[in-house]
Amino acid sequence: MRVLVTDGHFRKTLAVVRSLGRRGVKVTVGERTFLNTSFFSKYCKRRILYPSPRRHPDQFIDFLLREVKKNRYDCLFPMEEETLLLIAKYQSDISKYTYLLIPDLPKIEFVRDKGNLIRFAESHGIPVPKTYYRPPTLTLPPGGGGGGGGVNFSDIPVPVVIKPRISSGSFGIAYVRKKETLASSYQRVHEQYPFPLIQEYIPDGGGTFGLSALFDESTNVKAAFVHKKLRMFPVQGGPSTLREGVEHPRVMELGLSLLKALNWVGIAMVEFKVDPRDGVPKLMEVNPRFWGSLQLAIFSGVDFPYLILKMAKGENFKPLLHYETGKRCRWLFFGDILHFVNHPERFHLQPPFFRFFEPNTCDDILSGDDPLPLLGATATFFTFLYDPEMKRFLERR
């Protein structure tokens, strides 16, 4: 078996490479530069450099089509948002030469827009934070569109979160705790991301959970997994740097219900934050791609990449909805280090930061049988200092 995995920079890509490589699959990894985490893995059997999907999308697609035509991979794994969007656009062409389990482009674009997503979820009975879509009293910058459909800023209770309709990670998010700063904060976000959402701030204390799921081409659930974020970076909200596999029937029920209502195909991760005021999980977002904490699901017994490969081979299997709970996975280099440095209570974290050899805990990067990706991760980290594209990814995460 041979597979092609894009976006070698990312730890989720490394998780796919290790998962399949350990099973004897010949894994080819693609990236636009040799300085990336996954190229250093011993399970990466072949390395290819492709044009930047962001700067040269047409050249990227031409390269990818030539690659899959020539090598006839059993499966293609698009890992990052920009590559996923391009590959989805040309899905019918690419699927002639390899197995590709992704939603169609309109569906991906629909859930990327948090305004669309929140309205859809609310109409299907999924709990969401109180959301204001477009305050009409905003003085727009030159070239801005009209308002309408909202309320006055003075009518919106704080604290709130201002969120771009389309963004990744914590990029562009603003937290507002004083009513007198709401309009100016909205204006600043609006200048970069037109008409962001204003949502009530869900207090901490209930926990943030992710429901990861895999659906076949007929929207039948094939696997699901729930994790809880224990630490994040940025500290107040962002990708997890330490997380734990848990059972949370309500989160699983709501997440699967939403994805089935969307007629989802392939992989997705639905994030909820439990409101401590009423105990209800409230929808935060849907990731229409592999998520950063993928290694935890694999470690807990839900090996999403391998299950997709089984589907590529036409193998049937019962839905995998039960797994080992209590296992943890850490992103020490460099996510958890950044959490520690930026947390005001860094020496009082629970669990403590300096516990490096906990039982039932793995790491996104560090591995005794595959140590060299740490060098790749370090090299990638330093590219953030000079590479504009990588600086952009750092800001998003």
Determine the pLDDT at residue 231. 98
Domain membership of residue 74 (yes or no) is yes
Asked if residue 63 and residue 173 are part of one domain, the reply reads: no
Asked if residue 319 and residue 360 are part of one domain, the reply reads: yes
Determine the pLDDT at residue 140. 44
Asked if residue 314 and residue 170 are part of one domain, the reply reads: no
Q: Which residues contact 313 (CB under 8 A, 6 or more apart)?
A: 1, 74
Asked if residue 362 and residue 242 are part of one domain, the reply reads: yes
Determine the pLDDT at residue 355. 92
Domain membership of residue 371 (yes or no) is no
Asked if residue 160 and residue 95 are part of one domain, the reply reads: no
CB-based burial label for 268 (10 Å; 0-12, 13-18, 19+) = buried
Determine the pLDDT at residue 137. 57
Each of the 397 residues of the chain gets a pLDDT tens digit; together they read 999 999 999 999 999 999 999 999 999 999 999 999 999 999 999 999 999 999 999 999 999 999 999 999 999 999 999 999 999 999 999 999 999 999 999 999 999 999 999 999 999 999 999 999 876 555 544 333 334 445 688 889 999 999 999 987 677 899 999 999 999 999 999 999 999 999 999 999 999 999 999 999 999 999 999 999 999 999 988 899 999 999 999 999 999 999 999 999 999 999 999 999 999 999 999 999 999 999 999 999 999 999 999 999 999 999 999 999 999 999 999 999 999 999 999 999 999 999 998 999 999 999 999 999 999 999 877 776 667 676 565 544 4
Asked if residue 227 and residue 183 are part of one domain, the reply reads: no
Determine the pLDDT at residue 138. 54
Whose tokens are 């860094």? That residue is 346
Domain membership of residue 397 (yes or no) is no
Partners of residue 224 on adjacent β-strands: 213
Find, among 266, 289, 158, the residue nearest to 215 by Cα: 266
Asked if residue 212 and residue 192 are part of one domain, the reply reads: no
CATH number for position 134:
3.30.1490
Asked if residue 167 and residue 44 are part of one domain, the reply reads: no
Residue 292 in tokens:
């950063």
Domain count, the chain: 3
Residue 35 · residue 9 · CB < 8 Å: no
Residue 87 in tokens:
């590959």
Determine the pLDDT at residue 155. 86
Domain membership of residue 262 (yes or no) is yes
The whole-angstrom separation of Cα 86 and Cα 104 is 11
Determine the pLDDT at residue 146. 38
Look up the domain containing 21 and give its range.
2-100
**Roughly what angle, to the nearest 10 degrees, separates helices 105-112 and 81-89?**
150
Handedness of CA 324, 299, 81, 76 (dihedral sign): negative
Domain membership of residue 385 (yes or no) is no
Asked if residue 227 and residue 342 are part of one domain, the reply reads: yes
* 18: Cα separation from own chain's centroid: 19
Asked if residue 140 and residue 92 are part of one domain, the reply reads: no
Asked if residue 214 and residue 195 are part of one domain, the reply reads: no
Last residue of a domain, one of 151, 173, 200: 200
pTM of the model: 0.94
Determine the pLDDT at residue 395. 47
Domain membership of residue 378 (yes or no) is no
Asked if residue 360 and residue 214 are part of one domain, the reply reads: yes
